[in-house]
Amino acid sequence: MIMTIVMIDNHNREINYLRISITDRCNLRCVYCMPKEGVSFIGHEDILSYEEMLRIVKVAVKTGIVKVRVTGGEPLVRRGVTDFLTSLTKVVGLRDISLTTNGILLEDYAEEIFNAGIRRINVSLDSLSADRYRDITRGGDINRVIRGIRKAHDTGFSPIKINVVAIKGFNDDEIIDLAKLTIEKPYQIRFIEFMPVGESTLENSLGYLSNDEVIKNINSFSPLEPVIPTRRDKADGPASLYTLNGAKGEIGFISAISHEFCNSCNRLRLTADGHLRACLLSDEPTTDLKTPLRDGCSNSELEILIRDLISRKPGSYQTGCQQIHRRKCATNMSSIGG
Ligand code: SAM
Ligand code: SF4
């Protein structure tokens, strides 16, 4: 029988979700995520091996982790990713393993990922226009992503969630078209507010757009009906879910900046260089797991380090819109994994 461990932190939150950035490399350069040039990547020797990541996951399960999301950088550019996913599905105690990808390589990998045992996938797609997609990703081919999403659908992934960073002056005139995708397709379109993390910038003509504005915009087309969250949805994360009348899919809003949801944050994040983070939007507190791991620490010592970080997880990150320029996080989103 598998014993379920429940870890409640000092702010009465159950910490059960680990996101792993398996690489900080990426085949795109989205303007809101990475600088155009001069990105300093983690040296190969400093990137955790899959074995090291698996060991951390197995110990994290002993501290209450039951869900893992594999992300990046772009996870599909790291060699051996599908074998790693297969190994994750064998970790006793994990109940849910998912993947976030930009979709560029998804058509090639969808079947392998599915055969590894993964069913839940998030794909990032910020525009339906090929030119805009190329501009925001600094060179990406939207057709590859669309083919990847179709392949994921045909292969049987469910749910398929499509992440959209809504940006004023870039894709705000496409919000209704993106929302309308849910009418015919069983996808969950998730509007994510731009977060001021690392070296990410919005170019001069582009700006932060709150999800209140996105919701207003969609409501002007057709009223959004709230989806009554099931227990599973509640455990699923911070998105508030809605649907359009008669639609096959759903629309989610992740409003980290305008409506802080720290009081329900259940996450830890492992960066590719082995740092465990307690908060997406703040570099503190963070614990280096790679050094003790490579110095030969025991699993019990690793477990103490993870529990200690959980005990220091902050109750709230003060990120009102007015504070959007007060960056507390110097690490790029591509290293943290979103
Ligand atoms: N490369 C993969 C992808 O793009 O889906 C996975 C990593 S990416 C860092 C994970 C998510 O973070 C993506 O949906 C991306 O749009 C989002 N993201 C990146 N930078 C962001 C920022 N500054 N604010 C909000 N979301 C961001
Ligand atoms: Fe790469 Fe994802 Fe960041 Fe875009 S958002 S640069 S695809 S890691």
Task: Tell how far the Cα of 338 is from the centroid of ligand 2, in angstroms.
Answer: 9
Rg (CA), the chain: 19
Residues contacting 232, CB < 8 A, separation 6+: none
Ligand 2 closest atom vs CA 74? 8
Helix and strand totals (H; E) in the chain: 11, 13
Per-residue pLDDT of the chain in tens (338 residues, 90 and over written 9): 567 789 999 999 999 999 999 999 999 999 889 888 888 899 999 999 999 999 999 999 999 999 999 999 999 999 999 999 999 999 999 999 999 999 999 999 999 999 999 999 999 999 999 999 999 999 999 999 999 999 999 999 999 999 999 999 999 999 999 999 999 999 999 999 998 877 766 666 678 999 999 999 999 999 999 998 765 555 567 789 999 999 999 999 999 888 878 888 999 999 999 999 999 888 889 999 999 999 999 999 999 999 999 999 988 765 433 344 445 566 778 778 77
Q: What is the pTM of this model?
A: 0.94
Distance between CA atoms of residues 8 and 20, nearest Å:
21
Contact 34, 48 (CB under 8 A): no
20 lines ligand 1 (CB under 6 A): no
Find the 29 Cα to ligand 2 centroid distance in Å.
6
Structure tokens at 220: 């002007």
**Residue 277 belongs to what H/E stretch?**
strand 275-277
CA of 337 to the centre of ligand 1 (A): 7
137 ligand 1 Cβ < 6 A: no
Domains of the chain, residue spans: 17-336
Query: What does the alpha-carbon distance between residue 320 and residue 191 come to, in Å, rounded to a whole number?
Result: 18
Taking the centre of ligand 2 as the mean of its atom positions, its distance from the CA of residue 31, in whole angstroms, is: 9
In the chain, what are the helix, strand and coil shares in percent, each to the nearest 5?
Answer: 35, 20, 45
Residue nearest to atom 4 of ligand 1 (CA): 102
Closest by Cα among 259, 279, 169, 163 to 211: 259
**HSE (CB half, 13 Å, CA atoms) of 234?**
8
Q: Which positions ≥6 away from 217 have C-beta within 8 Å?
A: 172, 175, 176
Return the structure tokens found at 199. 């070296």
Which of 29, 33, 336 most suits a substitution to test ligand 1, by most atoms within 8 Å of the C-beta? Answer: 33
- Give the distance (Å) from ligand 1 centre to CA of residue 2: 34
Specify the CATH class of 17-336 in words.
alpha beta
Lookup: tokens for 68: 């893992």
- Decide: 102 in ligand 2 pocket, CB within 6 A: yes
Task: Name 265's Cβ contacts closer than 8 Å, sequence gap at least 6.
Answer: 13, 238, 279, 313
DSSP H or E stretch at residue 292 = helix 290-294
Task: Confirm or reject: Cβ of 30 under 6 Å from ligand 2.
Answer: yes
Report the separation in Å between the CA atom of 338 and the middle of ligand 1, taken as the mean of its atom positions. Answer: 5
